[in-house]
Structure 1
Amino acid sequence: MKGFAMSTVNIYKEFTDQKVTENVKKVSVIIPNYNYSRFLNERIDSIVHQTYPVHELIILDDCSTDDSRMFIAEKIKTIKDIPIRTVFNETNSGLVFSQWQKGLKEVTGDYFWIAEADDSCDPHFLETLMKPFDDEKVVLSYCDAARIDDDNNVIRENCQDLYNMFDSRHWDKAFVTEGSEEIKKYLSVLNTILNVSGVVWKNIPGLHDIFEEAKNFKVAGDWYIYTKVLEKGSLAFSPKCLNYYRKHTDSVTSSVHCDIEYKEIVSIEEMVAQKYELDMETYRWQRIRRSYMDANVSPEVKKKKIAWVIPYPGKGSGGHRTIIQNVNALIRHGYECDIYSEDDHRTTDEQAAQKIDEFYETCAAFVYVGANPRAEYELCFVTGWQTLEMVRKIPAKQYGYFIQDYEPWFFPMGNEYLIIEDSYRRGYSPITIGRWLANKMETEFHTPAQYFDFCADTKIYHPIEEIEKEDAVCYVWQPEKPRRGSELAFRALKILKAVRPQTKIYLYGSAVDAPVPFEAEKLGIISVQECNELYNKCAAGLCMSASNPSRIPFEMMAAGLPVVELYRENNLFDLPEEGVLLAESSPESIAAALLEVLDNKEMASSMRAFGPQFMKDLPLEKGFAQFIRSVDHLVLHTEYEQPKAEQIYTRAPYKAADEFRAQALDILYTDEVSSTDAAPAVPSLPRRALRKLRRIAGRGVRMIRQRIGKQ
């Protein structure tokens, strides 16, 4: 048919005597039948009257109880120009794929078409679908289908309503595509080849075994077969509705059937994910696909759900990025995750999901604003002090604490400090990033904790030999986060710039436009790829972490950049002394440590070589695997023992020499301020006070600060 102006399909009006005579390939046609005698006449006629020659017709009957066999015997007597063979089972096989396999054994053609007995088609079906096989890589060719009822009434004119789930124009026009790409993008989510009657196959080696494996499926065997066949070649599609797929009115779907289908869907999703690296958009589509079945599937069959309650997403937040990365890791592992974001009373669910995708990475979790629960969960994660009240509203069998920082230190001693500190005693099961926090939970709060190591995406962070190296220092500047010690870092960098004016300073990591008391280039928030380029061209990196190690020093090391950090208890369990220099928490000692890295070429060279080698054993995937094992331990009660968290940095803190301290103080508290914004960010004192400070420099930094406070 050329269209569906009428609501009933009548193939007989389209019959023609014209036949394709050039470039004709041998196409065998298989009709598997079981109790469809009512439709056999039209089915056989739709094949016999194809404009493309049929090499042979193989009719199978799976021990029908109607008059199918009698009809077949009479019908084939009327067909003169096509070789016909019949294969009748003495007992019912009980499985459609057994019939496909039996038909395949009978095929002598180079191509075949499984034309199910209750379906029908346009006479130009074969002519259209055989053309793409001129490309030798094509192993399957199929077309769009109209859905019809038992009386040939059109239910739907095409299958675009199913394809449109993907919000894609992919099926709007004809295409030939690599089979693996079709699997990764579409067949990993849904069986987009909706009806076998609409497919022509190349008779390639291995099909018999694939059909045999499909017998393990009761519902999704055809989907399994298509994914396995398309591993071997390309797929062709025609948007013409040349196949008429019959939907029977007596079809019944039970909850048992839904459970079986759900399990088989998950099985194929997992099979594809093991072979191909799927993007998170695909995992999101898989979740959407499964959600259509949720109401009809037994709870024990569904994937296990985990809730995450997170602070409101902010651009450039490394903590959020780590959360989203681990959410996605759980989804890839087989869990379903929902995110509940702190409510700002302005953002919708869709906007929050968009922010997460834009700010961090595409996330396959469903995202909701506020704490209105959508399900009961196996596990719900607290992820920060802001989420402590919200998490109580989310029903879960147990609660975990995803700890990235020792958050009491975000506040002065008082209500907030004490409340957050007390939250570690509330029975939430901690999983910490890094070993120091796990040690702190166990030693100070007597709470057994799991941990996962600080890792880096070594596909992004790695040495780039062709980048020209600069005499430069990069500092992750986040003045909106007090724990990043931006004022302390600025004082250190002012000293560095005064002592070594040729050294360029790059500031990155924040969109804040604030005065800088020295010459520097402000890069703002940059992409991870730009971060790697920055680390590769700099001679040293400065990161200030006062409440847990940041992931940034590990990413710097992976890129081959020597790192200066603070010598504090939180940095002693995770940062290696061969790749990081920990300085006393004073401007002069931080500046002196940076100068040591810049001037001590042997030391810098050793640190540059050590970093990538150390991080080679700490790719993101390792951290994800550790985290997943910890979650499995909580949810599935699997055994998981980790090495005890112990201090690995054994050197003393790097301290500035007394002479340098005096010089540094002279720089810090002089009236002469060098600033790209012409505004000092540190206080200046009279020269008389500076001379006095120099006289007492030997008494220690603590006394100096006391004297400054009295001025």
Structure 2
Amino acid sequence: MSPRLPRRGGTAEREPRPVRVPPLLLAALRDGAVPLRSDATTVTPDAALRVAVVIPQFRRGSGGHHTIADLVRGLEARGHALSLWLVDEEGRHDGQNDVDLGELFQRFFGPVAAPVRRLAVAGDDDFGGPTPGDVDVLLATGWQTVPAVLRLPGARARAYLVQDHEPEFYATSAERDWAQWTYRQGLHAVCASPWLADLVTREYDCSASSFDLGVAHEHYVPLPTHRRDDLVLFYARATTARRATTLGVLALQELHARRPDIEIALFGDGRRLATPFPHRHLGVLTPDALAHAYASATVGVVLSMTNPSLVPTEMLACGLPVVDLASDSMLATFGDDGPIALSPADPIAIAATVERLVDDLLERAERSRGGTALAATRTWPGAAEQVEAALRTALQRAE
């Protein structure tokens, strides 16, 4: 018997599933990179740079875009001229013009001088609108932006801001393979930790520099507010799988069973989570509201399965003791004997670590002192200086 086909006008016909492919991926796979300009040697070591930063679509609360904005501000303060170019394969910003995009980016991530413009693609092989033109460095900022960066003409060098090992964002898939492919395209990687730089160098034979994620010390400082001794704050960004929200929920379920007197608050996601224990839903908070939460809680919980996020160091800057995973990235970045209490990726172990810190005032005080001292060394001007050096390395490699 033949299978029945959906009737005309049915759901399958009315609402076809979109196929999302990074712009110019096919052209990059078929034809490779557009040749770079041959005059990289004309850029002197102290010259101000013109940098075109190609960014993926964005939404409120994106830590990756916040890092981009902080680095752009830092590079602008060092005298460089930057522009931001949007690649939107999801269609998230359909209907928004360049003015709308610039206003939205600054509303979400703070003021930058760099204009924000859409990088329009005409068909599979060409650009259908303005492009950066002649620049010193084209900077990709996510694997989906790499094909467009490879196909853009007019650059003296290309580099790749790598904030995480993005193949791990996917199950076995074409997207995972393509993300791995981007590290093999000759772009100098500017990595958001020494661990990440070592990984892409070792796994992909990719040239790499590293920088330390900064802290916005104008927001994240110890505040003269009452710090409770019974409040656990969990970064529960369920839309970001590598933050292991399900593992954290299971650990907090165990903690609540042991200690129902401890209040639990979740933040980082606009949508409330259904949990098997009572909790306060804080949602996506502004930096100042986050700092107040960090200054009021007893222990902060952040789970980093790949590269560390911004959140642990921001918590440390506010004097909040932190529990995170004893992953390779966290051990390499903070050390087993550093200020962050590192736990195996096991809910019982995480619950026990949190409970120990809640009960041990002396350990909390010691970790708070060590954390604020470490966070004081992490600044966005310092990160921008490291990134500038990496961009100049990309230029030297292009000679």
Give the TM-score taking structure 1 as reference length: 0.46
| Partner Cα separation in structure 1 for residue 172 and residue 299 of structure 2 | 35
- Alignment deviations for residues 185-220 of structure 1 (CA, whole Å, 9 cap, x no partner): xxxxxxxxxxxxxxxxxxxxxxxxxxxxxxxxxxxx
The change in CA–CA distance for 1:595 and 1:477 in structure 2 (over 3 A counts) is same
- Alignment deviations for residues 401-420 of structure 1 (CA, whole Å, 9 cap, x no partner): 10001000001123222221
Q: Which residue of 1 aligns with 2:142?
A: 384
| Partner Cα separation in structure 2 for residue 370 and residue 555 of structure 1 | 33
From 187, 201, 209, the equivalent of 1:442 is: 201
| Partner Cα separation in structure 1 for residue 394 and residue 140 of structure 2 | 14
| Partner Cα separation in structure 2 for residue 314 and residue 336 of structure 1 | 24
- Alignment deviations for residues 461-519 of structure 1 (CA, whole Å, 9 cap, x no partner): 12123334241111111111111111111111111112111111111111123322211
| Partner Cα separation in structure 2 for residue 435 and residue 552 of structure 1 | 18
For these two proteins, the number of residue pairs brought into alignment is 339
The answer to whether the aligner puts 1:338 opposite 2:57 as a matched pair is no
- Alignment deviations for residues 220-264 of structure 1 (CA, whole Å, 9 cap, x no partner): xxxxxxxxxxxxxxxxxxxxxxxxxxxxxxxxxxxxxxxxxxxxx
| Partner Cα separation in structure 2 for residue 405 and residue 322 of structure 1 | 12
The answer to whether the aligner puts 1:368 opposite 2:122 as a matched pair is no
Q: Which residue of 2 aligns with 1:510?
A: 269
From 364, 387, 391, the equivalent of 1:604 is: 364
Q: Which residue of 2 aligns with 1:316?
A: 61
**CA positional deviation for 1:358:** 0.4
| Partner Cα separation in structure 2 for residue 492 and residue 432 of structure 1 | 31
The answer to whether the aligner puts 1:305 opposite 2:53 as a matched pair is no
Give the TM-score taking structure 2 as reference length: 0.80
Q: Which letter maps to 1:483?
A: R
Q: Which residue of 2 aligns with 1:257?
A: none
| Partner Cα separation in structure 2 for residue 556 and residue 374 of structure 1 | 37
| Partner Cα separation in structure 1 for residue 302 and residue 380 of structure 2 | 20
| Partner Cα separation in structure 2 for residue 474 and residue 496 of structure 1 | 13
- Alignment deviations for residues 42-93 of structure 1 (CA, whole Å, 9 cap, x no partner): xxxxxxxxxxxxxxxxxxxxxxxxxxxxxxxxxxxxxxxxxxxxxxxxxxxx
| Partner Cα separation in structure 1 for residue 48 and residue 137 of structure 2 | 13
**CA positional deviation for 1:393:** 3.5
Q: Is the 8 A contact 1:540 1:594 kept in 2?
A: yes
For structure 1, list consecutive stretches of 5 or more residues without a partner in the other structure. 1-298, 638-711
| Partner Cα separation in structure 1 for residue 169 and residue 100 of structure 2 | 28
- Alignment deviations for residues 389-437 of structure 1 (CA, whole Å, 9 cap, x no partner): 3223422222101000100000112322222112111100001111110
The answer to whether the aligner puts 1:580 opposite 2:377 as a matched pair is no
Q: Which residue of 1 aligns with 2:169?
A: 410
For structure 2, list consecutive stretches of 5 or more residues without a partner in the other structure. 1-41, 121-128
Q: Is the 8 A contact 2:215 2:379 kept in 1?
A: yes
| Partner Cα separation in structure 1 for residue 146 and residue 296 of structure 2 | 42
| Partner Cα separation in structure 2 for residue 476 and residue 328 of structure 1 | 26
Query: 2:144 aligns to what SS in structure 1?
Result: helix
**CA positional deviation for 1:458:** 2.2
Q: Which residue of 2 aligns with 1:328?
A: 73
**CA positional deviation for 1:619:** 2.4
Q: Which residue of 1 aligns with 2:17?
A: none
**CA positional deviation for 1:303:** 5.9
Query: 1:529 aligns to what SS in structure 2?
Result: helix
**CA positional deviation for 1:578:** 2.7
Written as runs of structure 1 = structure 2, the 5 A alignment for 1:190-339 is 304-339=49-84
| Partner Cα separation in structure 1 for residue 329 and residue 315 of structure 2 | 18
Q: Is the 8 A contact 1:313 1:355 kept in 2?
A: no
Give the superposed CA RMSD: 2.0
**CA positional deviation for 1:300:** 9.3
From 547, 563, 572, the equivalent of 2:306 is: 547
- Alignment deviations for residues 649-687 of structure 1 (CA, whole Å, 9 cap, x no partner): xxxxxxxxxxxxxxxxxxxxxxxxxxxxxxxxxxxxxxx
Query: 1:573 aligns to what SS in structure 2?
Result: helix
Q: Is the 8 A contact 1:473 1:538 kept in 2?
A: yes
| Partner Cα separation in structure 2 for residue 483 and residue 329 of structure 1 | 27
The answer to whether the aligner puts 1:347 opposite 2:347 as a matched pair is no
The change in CA–CA distance for 1:434 and 1:533 in structure 2 (over 3 A counts) is same
From 217, 232, 237, the equivalent of 1:458 is: 217
Higher alpha-carbon Rg: 1
Structure with more relative contact order (C-alpha pairs < 8 Å, separation 6 or more)? 2
**CA positional deviation for 1:308:** 1.0
Q: Which letter maps to 1:361?
A: G
| Partner Cα separation in structure 1 for residue 215 and residue 272 of structure 2 | 29
Query: 2:323 aligns to what SS in structure 1?
Result: strand
| Partner Cα separation in structure 2 for residue 383 and residue 619 of structure 1 | 20
Report % sequence identity: 27
| Partner Cα separation in structure 2 for residue 328 and residue 632 of structure 1 | 18
| Partner Cα separation in structure 1 for residue 172 and residue 349 of structure 2 | 27
Q: Which letter maps to 1:386?
A: Q
Q: Is the 8 A contact 2:213 2:383 kept in 1?
A: yes
